[in-house]
Amino acid sequence: MSGATPRRELVKAEQYTPDLLQEFLVELETTRHSSEVWRLIVKLGQALNLPYVDLISASSYSNWKKTLFVRTSYDSSWLNSVNQDPDLAKWSYFRSHAMHCLTPIAVGVEFAEEYKHIPQSRYEVLHEAGRRGIRAGFSIPLRVHAPPQAALITFSGNHSKREMERIIQTHGWVLHAVALTGHQRYLTHFASEFSERNKITTKQRELLEMIGNGQQDKVIADQLGVTVSAVRQRMNNILKKTGLSNRAELAALAMSMGILPDPLSRNAGDQQSVLVEMGLPRLGDHPTLSPMVKTRRRDP
């Protein structure tokens, strides 16, 4: 890719992980766009003969119906009718497992007998996927907690149960690490690309920053040299573009886009604050945080 960031050389101490994982992580460091991350994830799946890759993410951990995005490495349009049926959709791996658990899980028709009760209609979906070459796979649940979100990456292929078990035993750690780091990097880029997807202009980003900083319309108008009504019109334009409904949501958007820093990451005042905790709390204790230890410490 033209203008791509060159890959760095690894020091010896970094070279104790599997080669596939090393290569993926080093290339991941150079990505600038979510599409590049997705290509790397699919590339690794293909290297392990798991070319069917799915990534589904919900924008609300408590409500799986609020789907943020779905990406697949293959034509998954045949699933549209399945996902529109609520009785079928709720039995997906994402909704039945990943929303509640953190353990990776073997999936596909080859492992159907190892699940708890699944409706016959869901078995039929799994058999149809098998006929399309998606017989077995490995799904990794994912989490992001600010704001709370859940996601799932699945690597699948046309494998028997025994073949898939061998892949998981040999490469399960790699797949798990790739899913975790790839998903985090993907979301970082995805958030920064919000302006691109929704055609947010530079002036609108400036307005979002002012709103996020808690400035009122009159103050914003004075700083921009426009009328209060002009400020409100610009705000309404952003609301229409983004589908948001109020000023508080615009402020939250500014933080999610990276225009404003996460308030939980801000230090108090100009001094560096480091919270140092040593040892383990006793079982049943509900420890309270003492004032932060304001100190500078060197890495060991």
Domain finish residue from 163, 192, 221? 192
Mean pLDDT across the chain: 83
Structure confidence at residue 298 as a pLDDT band (50, 70, 90): very low
**Could you tell me if residue 181 is inside a domain?**
yes
Q: Quick check: pTM over 0.95?
A: no
What pLDDT score was predicted for residue 185?
94
3-state secondary structure the chain: CCCCCCCCCCCHHHCCCCHHHHHHHHHHHCCCCHHHHHHHHHHHHHHCCCCEEEEEEECCCCCCCCEEEEEECCCCHHHHHHHHCHHHHCCCHHHHHHCCCCCCEEECHHHHHHCCCCCHHHHHHHHHHHHCCCCEEEEEEEEEECCEEEEEEEEEECCCHHHHHHHHHHHHHHHHHHHHHHHHHHHHHHHHCHHHHHCCCHHHHHHHHHHHCCCCHHHHHHHHCCCHHHHHHHHHHHHHHHCCCCHHHHHHHHHHCCCCCCHHHCCCCCCCCECCCCCCCCCCCCCCCCCCECCCCCCC
Structure confidence at residue 95 as a pLDDT band (50, 70, 90): confident
CATH number at residue 154: 3.30.450.80
Domain finish residue from 192, 210, 239? 192
In this structure, are 76 and 202 located in the same domain?
A: no
What pLDDT score was predicted for residue 16?
93
**Could you tell me if residue 224 is inside a domain?**
yes
**For residue 182, what are the domain limits?**
12-192
Q: Quick one: angle between helices 217-224 and 202-212, nearest 10?
A: 140
Question: 67 pLDDT exceeds 80?
Answer: no
Question: 266 pLDDT exceeds 90?
Answer: no
CATH number at residue 226: 1.10.10.10
In this structure, are 181 and 224 located in the same domain?
A: no
Question: 269 pLDDT exceeds 70?
Answer: no
What pLDDT score was predicted for residue 33?
93
In this structure, are 217 and 159 located in the same domain?
A: no
**Could you tell me if residue 229 is inside a domain?**
yes
Task: Kindly report, residue by residue over 104-129, the tens digit of the pLDDT.
Answer: 999 999 999 998 778 888 889 999 99
Instruction: Work out how many domains the chain is built from and give that number.
Output: 2
Task: Kindly report, residue by residue over 206-265, the tens digit of the pLDDT.
Answer: 888 898 888 898 999 999 889 999 888 988 988 888 888 888 888 888 877 778 776 655
In this structure, are 93 and 57 located in the same domain?
A: yes
What pLDDT score was predicted for residue 293?
46
